[in-house]
């Protein structure tokens, strides 16, 4: 899962937008940090807007002001058909994700189903699977020569009964991909709601089903709606599934249109992709504003008191084996099947689908090639360096920004605003924007690993901000005041008091951002060049080239590595009770 817990700033951030009336208007650290942020964020934004309004000369400089590109969008058929496709696909996947995720969360949090704790394991594993790999596994399962079509053919004789390269295929894969996210978020909604609301209903004479309908569901509704919108937004700006499934099936969505018009190396249609990007950006920004409003509503019913709280677990009797089976089935659907398919494929000398013959052809050759010297090893190394650099830059930087903002230092609210702004950029838009910047820079940054690191740092800045902000709010203000009154300077207070107390949140944020950064494909896709391959991009290319078995073996190795990271993330988060919504 590449986009876990993605969303908007914690609702508590609003409190920081209050500027103190007295004292200096600004401070040196705030100015320095704002400057760094602006240097990172402004150029891509400006370039993006400019290319959509100016013609571009062959040498890359801007020509005259024009509205041509927007006219082309509005008059052409592609934009609106893509918009409609994107909407259908996003609604569909949001509904699938919410229904399955909520079902899981209800079973896990509110019943005594055996084995319910194992669902968490599924979520931890999914966090370690890059979106591109997940999509590919599903394409192998549901593809022309995949096991599903094979079974149907054996049973009914119909050849290639289902075509996964279709709208429903896209929707299904994206929806299932988001189940671990919706499961985790719904679980926290259910856990945050005092069980005595339900008990009070039962004591009023309402039976469990009626209680569920009148109380649990009604009180949970704002949370469900907010989550629905969140998944909708994530699907709206998603790239992996539309690129791998949609393009092959000729179903265009906004993100793939941007990708296609930016991909051509020779005569690149800057204006066209710029206009597309600006439109997508505006839509996502509007949706995020709406989401912010909804999620504020969603929190109004939550009582995080902890006092007198007991989880209400419903005894299902014999029925609990049915729910147990349902959980196992969902685990297989969400995590198990794709992984099995991947391992199976990685052990094949060549991919021909799942046939009786293929079981006699198991070989480890792919792994031998993989572990030997060559580009595979390089790209794994590149990726780890890239992920670690991004996290190591973003986490301390945002920790400082968040602390200044949360403690309402003069002018620090602006840090919070700027650092969370990249949230409105869908990854592919940010990628296009940075592409313009790097191509036009006098320094040869284009195609280097540094360019990916810079772009990713901007992309994940809001996530770092969110973790650090929530972490700072958990630290009692007086702990810092005690340091100041002991004679410590602000900088010493930050280094000696705030950072150590924030350690749990920061480690958690580091691992989380690392996981997101190394698994994203849409951001580095347009930026990497020869010699700076990134695993997710390599996987993407291998699929395009039809090197399925190499892809699978590389995927297996990579997932095993990432599951370790994801498990660490899980334990750190639990150990320090990190809150980041």
193 and 106 Cβ atoms separated by less than 8 Å:
no
Pick the closer one to other proteins by CB: 320 or 407.
320
Distance CA 499, CA 517 (A): 23
Q: Count of CB atoms within 10 A of residue 119's CB?
A: 24
295 binds other proteins (CB under 8 A): no
Whichever of 148 and 294 has its CB closer to other proteins, that residue is: 294
With CB under 8 A as the contact rule, the residue among 192, 199, 561, 567 that binds other proteins is 199
Give the interface segment with other proteins, choosing from 197-205, 231-239, 513-521, 560-568 (CB under 8 A): 197-205
Cα–Cα distance measured from residue 516 to residue 524, given in angstroms and rounded to the nearest whole number: 12
Q: Return the number of the residue (204 or 544) whose C-beta is nearest other proteins.
A: 204
Residue closer to other proteins, measured from CB, 21 or 310: 310
Q: Note whether 166 binds other proteins by CB under 8 A.
A: no
The residue within the footprint of other proteins, chosen from 219, 332, 445, 567 (CB under 8 A), is: 219
CA 103 to chain centre: 21
Tell me: does residue 120 bind other proteins (CB under 8 A): no
**Nearest-angstrom CA–CA distance, 220 and 186:** 9
Do the Cβ atoms of 370 and 376 come closer than 8 Å?
yes
Least CB distance to other proteins at residue 352 (A): 51
Q: Who's near 12: CB < 8 A, 6+ residues apart?
A: 469, 470, 473
* 288 contacts 79 by C-beta, under 8 angstroms: no
How many residues of this chain bind other proteins (CB under 8 A)? 24
Answer for the pair 429, 282: CB distance below 8 angstroms, yes or no: no
Kindly state whether residue 215 participates in binding other proteins, applying the rule CB under 8 A: yes
Q: Does residue 11 interact with other proteins by CB under 8 A?
A: no
197 near other proteins, judged by CB under 8 A: yes
Structure tokens at 297: 């509503």
In the block, residue with structure tokens 């700027």: 418
* Least gap, CB of 307 to other proteins (angstroms): 7
Residue 36 within binding range of other proteins, rule CB under 8 A: no
Between 214 and 490, whose beta carbon lies closer to other proteins? 214
Tell me which residue of 135, 541, 209, 202 sits closest to 375, measured CA to CA. 541
- 200 touching other proteins, by CB under 8 A: yes
Is residue 203 close enough to count as binding other proteins by CB under 8 A? yes
Among 23, 205, 444, 546, binds other proteins (CB under 8 A): 205
Mapped onto helix, strand or coil, the DSSP state of residue 564 is: helix
Print the binding letters for residues 300-339 with other proteins: x by CB under 8 A, - otherwise. xx-x-x-xx-------------------------------
> Among 308, 178, 312, which residue's Cα sits nearest to residue 236?
178
Question: Which residue stretch of 75-83, 202-210, 236-244, 352-360 sits at the interface with other proteins (rule: CB under 8 A)?
Answer: 202-210
Instruction: Identify which of 414, 452, 440 has the alpha carbon closest to the alpha carbon of residue 533.
Output: 452
Tell me how far, at minimum, the Cβ of 320 lies from other proteins, in Å: 16
Estimate the share of the chain in helix, then strand, then coil, as percent rounded to the nearest 5.
Answer: 75, 0, 25
DSSP 140-151: HHHSTTSHHHHH
Between 202 and 388, CB nearer to other proteins: 202
Q: Which is nearer to other proteins, 50 or 299 (CB)?
A: 299
**Are the beta carbons of 254 and 280 closer than 8 angstroms?**
yes
Residue from 204, 355, 363, 544 touching other proteins (CB under 8 A): that is 204
- SS3 state at 273: helix
294 binds other proteins (CB under 8 A): no
Note the residues at the interface with other proteins (CB under 8 A).
194, 196-197, 199-208, 210, 214-215, 218-219, 300-301, 303, 305, 307-308
């Amino acid at each position: 899962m590449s986009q876990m817990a993605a969303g908007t700033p914690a609702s508590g951030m609003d409190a920081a937008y209050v500027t103190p009336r007295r004292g200096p208007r600004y401070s040196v650290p705030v100015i320095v940090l704002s400057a760094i942020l602006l240097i990172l964020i402004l150029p891509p934004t400006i370039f993006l807007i400019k290319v959509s309004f100016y013609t571009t000369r062959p040498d890359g400089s801007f020509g005259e002001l024009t509205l041509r590109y927007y006219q082309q969008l509005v008059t052409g058929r592609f934009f609106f058909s893509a918009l409609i496709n994107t909407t259908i696909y996003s609604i569909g996947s949001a509904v699938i994700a919410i229904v399955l995720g909520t079902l899981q969360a209800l079973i896990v949090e509110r019943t005594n189903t055996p084995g319910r704790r194992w669902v968490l394991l599924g979520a931890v594993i999914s966090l370690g699977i890059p979106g591109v790999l997940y999509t590919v596994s599903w394409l192998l399962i549901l593809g022309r020569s995949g096991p599903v079509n094979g079974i149907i053919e054996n049973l009914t004789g119909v050849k290639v009964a289902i075509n996964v390269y279709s709208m429903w295929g896209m929707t299904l894969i994206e929806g299932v991909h988001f189940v671990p996210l919706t499961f985790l978020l719904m679980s926290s909604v259910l856990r945050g709601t005092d069980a005595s609301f339900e008990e009070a209903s039962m004591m009023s004479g309402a039976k469990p089903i009626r209680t569920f309908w009148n109380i649990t569901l009604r009180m949970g509704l704002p949370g469900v709606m907010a989550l629905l919108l969140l998944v909708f937004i994530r699907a709206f700006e998603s790239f992996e599934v539309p690129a791998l499934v949609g393009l092959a099936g000729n179903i265009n969505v906004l993100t793939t249109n941007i990708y296609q018009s930016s991909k051509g190396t020779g005569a690149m249609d800057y204006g066209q992709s710029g206009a597309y990007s600006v439109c997508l950006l505006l839509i996502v920004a509007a949706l995020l504003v709406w989401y912010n409003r909804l999620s504020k509503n969603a929190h109004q019913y939550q009582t995080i008191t902890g006092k007198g709280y007991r989880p209400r677990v419903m005894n299902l009797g014999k029925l609990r084996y049915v729910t147990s089976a349902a959980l196992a089935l969902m685990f297989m659907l969400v995590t198990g099947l794709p992984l099995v398919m991947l391992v199976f494929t990685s052990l094949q000398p060549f991919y021909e689908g799942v046939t009786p013959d293929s079981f006699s052809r198991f070989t480890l050759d792919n792994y031998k090639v993989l572990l030997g010297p060559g580009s595979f090893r390089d790209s794994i190394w590149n990726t780890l360096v890239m992920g670690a650099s991004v996290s190591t830059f973003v986490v301390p930087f945002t920790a400082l920004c968040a602390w200044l903002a949360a403690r309402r230092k003069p002018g620090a609210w602006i840090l919070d605003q700027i650092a969370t702004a990249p949230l409105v950029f869908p990854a592919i838009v940010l990628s296009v924007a940075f592409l313009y910047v790097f191509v036009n820079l006098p320094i040869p940054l284009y195609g280097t690993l540094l360019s990916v690191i810079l772009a990713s740092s901007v992309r994940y800045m809001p996530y770092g901000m969110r973790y650090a902000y929530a972490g700072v709010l958990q630290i009692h203000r007086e702990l810092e005041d005690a340091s100041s009154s002991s004679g410590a300077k602000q900088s010493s207070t930050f280094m000696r008091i705030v950072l150590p107390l924030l350690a749990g949140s920061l480690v958690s944020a580091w691992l989380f951002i690392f996981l997101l950064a190394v698994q994203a494909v849409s951001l580095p896709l347009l930026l990497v060049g020869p010699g700076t391959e990134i695993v997710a991009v390599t996987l993407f290319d291998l699929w395009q080239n039809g090197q399925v078995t190499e892809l699978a073996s590389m995927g297996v190795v990579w997932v095993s590595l990432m599951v370790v990271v994801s498990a660490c993330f899980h334990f750190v988060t639990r150990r320090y009770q990190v809150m980041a919504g």
